[in-house]
Amino acid sequence: MPAPAYYPVYLDLRGRRVVLVGGNVNAVKKVRGLLVCGPDLVVIAPELEDEIRAHADAGRLTWVKRGYQRGDLEGAFLAMVADTSDEAVNQAVYDEARERNVTVNVEDVTHLCTFIAPSVVRRGDVAVAVSTGGASPALARKFREVLSGTSAVRTRHGIMEFADLAPLLSDARLELKRRGVAVSNEHWQACLTDELVDMVQAGRTDEARRSLMERLESGLGCGCARGTCRLWDEMAAQSPAEKANGRRGPS
């Protein structure tokens, strides 16, 4: 089945019931983005990260202190799963959402989504949303950081040229999933290089694939602390943008 062509849309969530399953680190980012939009936010999780718990204590969201149960999506306008560690729960939330005609997103499990969440850059009333159609979260992050001016690495290519990498990055992501291995978000960023764009644009796809996989595999067992990447820091230190702005790699 071909990948869906998604229709971009901005939703008015004010006063609407939004159900978020999971209270982990991934949920923190979702809660931050959702609360800006004023929904009636319900978080279902046995435990919460401190930041989410603080919002619950302040009455900015409702915490249901348990795991997901069938029926939790009754009256929901939107549903999201942040903690995807239980495949049975992922499927159950998706099934209930489809039965109730509730729009649903299971993070990084595209076939269990009826919408995908873009990377968003905000400045005042202006919001720019970037999506790769679920092909590459790393590429969406690259766009967000360049557009927001927070990327520590300057590139020779215009940001839209990096879109040419989407099929290659999608294939690499699926291959890593097939192997059951994970590469840190920061290391993914270090793999999105001008040289990779050069190879793809020159039609050297096989060479680009080999180069990307070698670079990704170098991040397996590299010993970098969570949220850091030595390779990215080295690129940032060599970048004119880093020297001019005194910034480090992405957090």
- In DSSP terms, 44 is beta-bridged to 21, 64
CATH of domain 17-112: 3.40.50.720
Model confidence at 248: pLDDT above 80: no
Beta strands 78-81 and 40-44, pairing class: unpaired
Average the pLDDT over each of 87-101, 171-185, 203-217, 225-239 and give the range with the smallest value: 225-239
pLDDT score recorded for residue 246:
41
Model confidence at 251: pLDDT above 50: no
Give the highest mean pLDDT range of 85-94, 110-119, 147-156.
Answer: 85-94
Q: Smallest Cα–Cα separation from 116: which of 22, 7, 21, 18? A: 7
> 214 pLDDT band (50/70/90 cuts)?
very high
DSSP letter, residue 148: H
Pair of tokens at residue 238 = 């060599």
Separation of alpha carbons 28 and 15, rounded Å: 20
Separation of alpha carbons 96 and 19, rounded Å: 12
Model confidence at 140: pLDDT above 60: yes
Q: What's the length of the chain?
A: 251
Question: CB neighbours of 66 closer than 8 A, spacing ≥ 6?
Answer: 44, 45, 46
Domain map (residue ranges) of the chain: 17-112, 119-245
- Higher pLDDT pick, 220 / 191: 191
Model confidence at 244: pLDDT above 80: no
Model confidence at 22: pLDDT above 60: yes
CB 143 within 8 A of CB 120: no
- In DSSP terms, 122 is beta-bridged to 127
Backbone angles phi, psi at 104, to 5 degrees: -135, 145
pLDDT, tens digit (0-9, with 9 covering 90-100), for 103-135? 999 998 889 999 988 888 888 888 888 888 878
| CA contacts within 13 A on the Cβ side of 238 | 8
Q: Give the amino acid at 131.
A: S
Give helix 205-217 / helix 166-179 axis angle, nearest 10°.
50
CB 131 within 8 A of CB 143: no
Model pTM above 0.85:
no
What value does the mean pLDDT take over residues 225-251?
59
pLDDT score recorded for residue 241:
47
